[in-house]
Structure 1
Amino acid sequence: MRRHALFLLAAVLLAGATARDALDLWVARTDLPALTIDTGTEVVARDGTLLRAFTVADGRWRLDPGPVDPLFLDLLIGYEDRRFRDHPGVDPLALLRAAWQAAWSGRIVSGGSTLTMQVARLLEDSGTGRVAGKLRQMRVALALERRLSKDQILGLYLRLAPYGGNLEGIRAASLAYLGKEPRRLTPAEAALLVALPQSPETRRPDRHPDAARAARARVLARMVEGGVIGADRATAALSEAVPTARRPFPALSPHLAERQRRDHPGAARIATTIDPRLQRGLEALAARTAAGGASRVSLAIVVADHRTGEILASVGSPDWTDDRRAGFVDMTRATRSPGSTLKPFVYALAFDEGLAHPETLIEDRPTAFGTYAPQNFDRTFRGTIPVRQALQLSLNIPVVSLTEALGPARLIATLRRAGADPVVPGGQPGLAVALGGVGVTLEELVQGYAALARLGAPVRLSAEPGQAGPLDQRLFGAEAAWLTADILAGLPPPPNAPANRLAYKTGTSYGHRDAWAIGFDGGHVAGVWLGRADGASVPGAFGGDLAAPILFETFARLKPALDPLPPPPPTTLILPNARLPLPLQRFRPRGAVFAAAPDGPEIAFPPDGAEVETAEHLALKVRGGTPPFTWLANGAPLVLADRSRETALTAPGEGYLSLSVIDGKGRSATSTVTLRP
């Protein structure tokens, strides 16, 4: 008898072991679905908050869950699968309970599915009520538990759980229904988000708020029974309103976000340097401005920290969904005529070349430059005025005279050194480039003004972390840049604007197609553009009237007080007209400055185009001309009224150096050299 009992026990153990081995083999041979879940690309601000999210390929909102409130996880596990941390993927006790409840009531009361089985169903979209489907879910669940950790399985659920419509996952649901990230949820919010995936279409709060409220109450009641939350917290949660509308997903800086996604295909998360508070404020400013203007007028704003080159805000249009304004067009990148906004660069180059000084007198009279006879905007002339006043009044004749002396190609080359890609009609620049006869973008203009703010040192602007930074070649000397900025800072602010010392310039393109205002202080640079995206005229649109007030309000939203502009470089020539060197007291047109004369001055050393090794002193030699001689380096007078033909200056260090010599009769010669270590 004992022998038979031992034999029977051995047979049972063998059968159990055989069944276990068979189960192991059955689970091991399971073909698992793909476990890599696509999530939509996210473009985030400098503080990590969401600027804009994108759907996955099939149009569903499915996002990486990110941090999730621990209360939600406690409610989810407590309500759906209390033994989630302990079972191997299938919970026999839950299955027995479901079977007993179904037999007792004559209907299915609970399904007995674990969270792992729900993940298996979501991965394969298998049925819930069919026996074959349930067995498949159990098999996949057992296999998942062998392949993944519990937290990884929970992460799949947080990505895939359905929440109605095209919403999948906890984060998409929290943003759409609650308008917030799921990292911090109230008990009412957490309970609602636990309840919805059980029947996502019939419990959608935006369509069936009563059903959603009842489902939330059932979750709270069971969690009180299970001791997950206290009765007081549950009672307070029941009084909290259920959301009744679906909110739009964040879409701050939509044009820039779209561009970043296009430039980084396949990236799940793209960081930017955008300041979300500033971006939100400027988008509201643009929308308010557009609402009070013509129906087809668009607007764009760019703000950057010129000390680092980081773009802090980029508004491509007042409303990217407004087809009337062609809001889908990013006007920060559209090529337009800059009007008078390039004039400061002409003056800075003239100061750098020793052609003029802010107190130099210049003529504003009817002048023909060959067949080109420009007019001032108001068709009046001021006669003889200081250069400072000519720039502040944005007069055309003086700046064209300076452009002729410099050569228009010099202005185009300067813009390219600033990082712009100017579009020159016909390929050959003419004198009209100084008045806006060239195509540039708002971003490029702001980048050029950043170089002015940095005393001639250009910087690459970028909204990508680590991509902004200094560019190699200076545009002009620090002294010339400071003198130009000082003139621009003397412009009166627009009516009702703060009387801040903002260095700025406005511009209006031909035919009133574009209105501009670009400005900077000691830390930041900003630009505003108004016009129609299709290039049509906007009658009455002037940069000073429309764009300048928005520029000043942009800085007001940026910070409470402006950063001071830098002090003048030590070698800056700050003198009244009467005390300037004679050649700088009055501007002489190109024919006078560069007239060939047998006895005119010529720089003998260093010759034009030479590369010179740097030493402690740089020797200078002039032949011809009439003493005394005035020497300028990068526009700054260094040697005044020297009767000697040989002199020396302290070498300014390696890099580009523009030398000019002016003799006693006002004749001049120039030499551009490169100093090498």
Structure 2
Amino acid sequence: MVKNVVDLIKKHKVKSIVTVIFLTAYYFCLPKQLFNDPTSTVIYSEEGELLGAKIAEDEQWRFPKNDSIPEKFKQCIIYFEDEYFYSHPGFNPVSMMKAIKQNWEAGKVVRGGSTLTQQVIRLSRKGKKRSYFEKFIELILATRLEIRSSKEEILNLYASNAPFGGNVVGLDVAAWRYFGVLPHQLSWAESATLAVLPNAPSLIYPGKNQEQLLEKRNRLLKKLLVEGILDQLTYELSIAESLPQKPFLLPQHAPHLIERMAKVKKGERITSSIDFSLQQNINNIVARHHAILEQNQIHNTAVLVIDIATRKVRSYVGNTPTTKSNQKDVDIITAARSTGSVLKPFLYAALLDGGELLPETLVADVPTYIGGYHPKNYSERYDGAVPAKRALARSLNVPAVRLLQSYNLEKFRDQLNYFDLRDIDKPADHYGLSLILGGAESNLWDLCKSYANLASTLNHFNETSSEYYAKEFQEPILLKEEVVDFGNKTSEKSLFDAGSIYLTFEAMKEVNRPEGNEAWEFYDSSKEIAWKTGTSFGNRDAWAIGVTKQYVVGVWVGNADGEGRPGLTGLSGAAPVLFDVFDVLPQSSWFERPFDELTEAEVCDNSGFLASPICPKKSRWIPVSSTRTSPCPYHRWVHLDTQKQYRVHAQCQDPSTIESEAWFVLPPLMAHYYKSNNAEYRPLPPYRNDCKNTIGTPMEFIFPKANAKVFLPKNLEGETNELVLKIAHSKPETTIFWYVDDVFIGSTETFHEMAIRPATGKHLITVVDSLGNELVQWVEIEK
């Protein structure tokens, strides 16, 4: 048999070569990809609802090819365009001959004999003349397409690339533009309307030529009735439907997300992680608050919602529905803005994790001067001393700066690298201590991601019998099909332990809610939320970030151009949006207590430090690492006379008659502010008159001497050298508090030296030790 074929080829060499050439040309005549037109970037919600689209580069609304078309439209297009579609090899000789005859008799083209397959080929060969020669080429290519592709694939190619009038290309866009629905939601009448449009899209257009369009549609519906595709009732209801009068605008439920995705998935069909109903609700919330905020010329708001367990972004609202002049197109979620106070919880967790702080430890809230930096609380008032968790809840600036200084600025800056806050990309000395008050910039995406990572660390620890995951810190997910890989379980924490994170969230739960929500905690249905606000310098940025066991919600409010507005704060501007968003989220339980990273300990009832033997005590949960913190330094024995009115000592009172009592004593400056806010605070009783002269002064200035004149030269860089103040104390371990012109500049222990750069002129230097002893000295500076 093979030998006969070989002999036949040898006998007819020329014919064989021609045949091979023809078959090869026929095989390769059809491009691998018929359509190379740019397509729109289209994004859907997780449920399959259209969130929006971005027009293609050629200004056409053309969605990427769909894998299937609805059955209604399939029946309509086949019975209107190509009734024998499933039985012909790409062309229909009978239809072609009828078309040629009618066109010859009319002297012009009045009927086309093209099959749907030929129409797909014609659509792919844009701009070709509709001549008989071109028809012949289309026929050849159509047969080749039939060999290569299934009938369903050919139908999908037609539905995705057919013109539907104007700049509308493809069924998916047409369904939205003319009826405002997804293709599978089209009725029979709507499907029939769209089926007849590609036949003459320039002539028959919704809103125009209504009679012709209605006639064609109803004729098709009648045919479907006759063929048994429609029953009588469906037919009658269908012809009663009205025609579309004008195109609908495509949905724009997440325009900024579309722009973001178009940068990485341009021209693709994307199924996102967005919850459609939640996105709509939050869009409405943002629009409602925008109407209020713009009265104060505050134009922009952004909201991000992340599911903690999956890291999926459930809502992405990049800006308000404002005007172009007010930067409505700016995606605030990715914009770098001053952080205000939203980094404070990270510092609080770091201090707890490092064993340097307990939740109720009193921290100083007094006028502070550190190397020329003079932080102030937003209220410009001071508490003297305040529990650390209360300082966080109230977002007090001075305690935060002092805690950052004591913790170590460089160490904290390095820890921020774990959060991958991409806009915080400079070394610690660039930001200084203002880092904790908004001296750095970050964005809503990274900040929400960071809070989600902490919450997830805590959740996983409780879910895995006290283990962590190796890759806990993850980027949020925007695509439905993506899944986060947290890595393997490990006994090692990623950054902060679960106990420190839990206590941080507990402290954040105590933040005062905005006006109208003061009584939230008294309702059984209230949500327990750990949340933090932030306000940048000049009232330019207002932040609110909230965390529950299931969700992180982040809100930014302000003006995209950086203009500050009076009264714009995190509490007044962003927090009301935050709580409205939580109101439309499912109820979430509170975090479970991570017992293996916490321990019960006796702490001082007054100071919050670990209890000393003479402290009034209470039991509290603290991080295991915090058991090594120092005991309360503020309780000491005080020796009193028999009436307990005055302090005495052995040189002026018989020791056998001295009454000793444990006394809560704050350093003088802390006590000065503390007692004005705490009526129960008892200052130390004064010494009895006959005891004062025997006390002596335990401190003495080493430098400068009284009324000294000091000349400060300049260094090689042209900066004035520092003046180093020095004193000696009979008990060097005593804490010394330093003031220049009645402004507190710092404290020292053991080595009592303080460097300052005072201005020219006279200055009053005051030092006070923790026992209340005071020294003053005048110095005159010359330069």
Q: 1:48-63, aligned counterparts within 5 Å?
A: 48-63=48-63
Q: Is the 8 A contact 1:477 1:635 kept in 2?
A: no
Q: Is the 8 A contact 2:599 2:623 kept in 1?
A: no
Q: Is the 8 A contact 1:412 1:429 kept in 2?
A: no
Superposition CA RMSD, Å: 3.4
Query: Does residue 1:635 correspond to 2:625, yes or no?
Result: yes
Q: Displacement of 1:84 after TM fit?
A: 1.3
Q: Displacement of 1:91 after TM fit?
A: 1.6
Aligned to 1:316: 318
Q: What number of residue pairs does the alignment pair up?
A: 579
Aligned to 1:12: none
AA partner of residue 463 (structure 1): I
Aligned to 2:414: 413
* Alpha-carbon separation, structure 2, partners of 1:582 and 1:552: 31
* CA displacement, residues 236-263 of structure 1 (integer Å, 9 cap, x when unaligned): 1111122222122233333233223322
Equivalent residue of 1:88, what SS? coil
* Alpha-carbon separation, structure 1, partners of 2:163 and 2:189: 19
Q: Is the 8 A contact 1:290 1:318 kept in 2?
A: yes
Aligned to 1:475: 495
Going from structure 1 to structure 2, the CA distance change for 1:349 and 1:103 (only over 3 Å counts) comes to closer
AA partner of residue 299 (structure 1): T
Query: Does residue 1:565 correspond to 2:591, yes or no?
Result: yes
Query: Does residue 1:486 correspond to 2:506, yes or no?
Result: yes
Q: 2:476 aligns with which of 442, 459, 462?
A: 462
Q: Displacement of 1:579 after TM fit?
A: 5.7
* Alpha-carbon separation, structure 1, partners of 2:514 and 2:178: 44
Point out the more displaced range, 513-522 or 36-45: 36-45
Q: Is the 8 A contact 1:459 1:468 kept in 2?
A: no
Equivalent residue of 1:566, what SS? coil
* Alpha-carbon separation, structure 1, partners of 2:356 and 2:196: 77
**Higher CA-based Rg:** 2
* Alpha-carbon separation, structure 2, partners of 1:105 and 1:582: 101
Aligned to 1:244: 245
* Alpha-carbon separation, structure 2, partners of 1:292 and 1:582: 43
Aligned to 1:186: 187
Q: Displacement of 1:232 after TM fit?
A: 2.7
Q: Displacement of 1:570 after TM fit?
A: 4.2
Q: 1:517-556, aligned counterparts within 5 Å?
A: 517-556=544-583
Q: 1:61-210, aligned counterparts within 5 Å?
A: 61-63=61-63, 64-99=65-100, 101=102, 109-125=110-126, 130-210=131-211
Going from structure 1 to structure 2, the CA distance change for 1:571 and 1:520 (only over 3 Å counts) comes to same
* Alpha-carbon separation, structure 2, partners of 1:393 and 1:30: 74
Q: 1:578-617, aligned counterparts within 5 Å?
A: 578=604, 584=610
Q: Displacement of 1:303 after TM fit?
A: 0.9
AA partner of residue 598 (structure 2): T
Equivalent residue of 2:415, what SS? helix
Aligned to 1:3: none
* CA displacement, residues 338-396 of structure 1 (integer Å, 9 cap, x when unaligned): 11111122222222223221221222221222321211111111222222222222111
| Identity level (%) | 32
* Alpha-carbon separation, structure 2, partners of 1:125 and 1:155: 18
* CA displacement, residues 309-351 of structure 1 (integer Å, 9 cap, x when unaligned): 22222211113x8312212221111111111111122222222
Q: 1:451 aligns with which of 425, 450, 453?
A: 453
Going from structure 1 to structure 2, the CA distance change for 1:506 and 1:428 (only over 3 Å counts) comes to same
Aligned to 2:292: 292
* CA displacement, residues 27-79 of structure 1 (integer Å, 9 cap, x when unaligned): 94894456432443433333344333344432222222343221221121122
AA partner of residue 200 (structure 1): P
Unpaired runs of at least 5, structure 1? 1-20, 587-631, 642-663, 669-677
Q: Is the 8 A contact 1:261 1:270 kept in 2?
A: no
Query: Does residue 1:230 correspond to 2:231, yes or no?
Result: yes
Aligned to 1:36: 34
Going from structure 1 to structure 2, the CA distance change for 1:578 and 1:639 (only over 3 Å counts) comes to closer
* Alpha-carbon separation, structure 2, partners of 1:227 and 1:483: 70
Q: Is the 8 A contact 1:502 1:520 kept in 2?
A: yes
Equivalent residue of 1:517, what SS? strand
Unpaired runs of at least 5, structure 2? 1-18, 459-467, 521-525, 613-621, 632-732, 736-747, 750-783
Q: Displacement of 1:502 after TM fit?
A: 0.9
Q: Displacement of 1:185 after TM fit?
A: 2.3
Q: Displacement of 1:85 after TM fit?
A: 1.4
* Alpha-carbon separation, structure 2, partners of 1:209 and 1:426: 70
Going from structure 1 to structure 2, the CA distance change for 1:286 and 1:424 (only over 3 Å counts) comes to farther
* Alpha-carbon separation, structure 1, partners of 2:252 and 2:600: 49
Aligned to 1:382: 383
* Alpha-carbon separation, structure 1, partners of 2:387 and 2:147: 84
Q: Is the 8 A contact 2:362 2:609 kept in 1?
A: no
Q: Displacement of 1:108 after TM fit?
A: 5.5
* Alpha-carbon separation, structure 2, partners of 1:29 and 1:412: 64
Aligned to 1:516: 543
Query: Does residue 1:368 correspond to 2:407, yes or no?
Result: no
Point out the more displaced range, 424-433 or 97-106: 97-106
AA partner of residue 436 (structure 1): G
AA partner of residue 47 (structure 2): D
AA partner of residue 500 (structure 2): A
Q: Displacement of 1:155 after TM fit?
A: 2.2
Equivalent residue of 2:584, what SS? helix
Going from structure 1 to structure 2, the CA distance change for 1:237 and 1:99 (only over 3 Å counts) comes to same
TM-score in terms of structure 1 length: 0.77
Q: 1:264-413, aligned counterparts within 5 Å?
A: 264=265, 268-294=268-294, 297-319=299-321, 322-413=323-414
* Alpha-carbon separation, structure 2, partners of 1:215 and 1:107: 21
* Alpha-carbon separation, structure 2, partners of 1:437 and 1:541: 18
Q: Is the 8 A contact 2:73 2:191 kept in 1?
A: yes
TM-score in terms of structure 2 length: 0.68
Q: Is the 8 A contact 1:338 1:507 kept in 2?
A: yes
AA partner of residue 477 (structure 2): A
Q: Displacement of 1:134 after TM fit?
A: 3.4
* Alpha-carbon separation, structure 2, partners of 1:165 and 1:334: 36
Q: Displacement of 1:574 after TM fit?
A: 5.6
Aligned to 1:259: 260
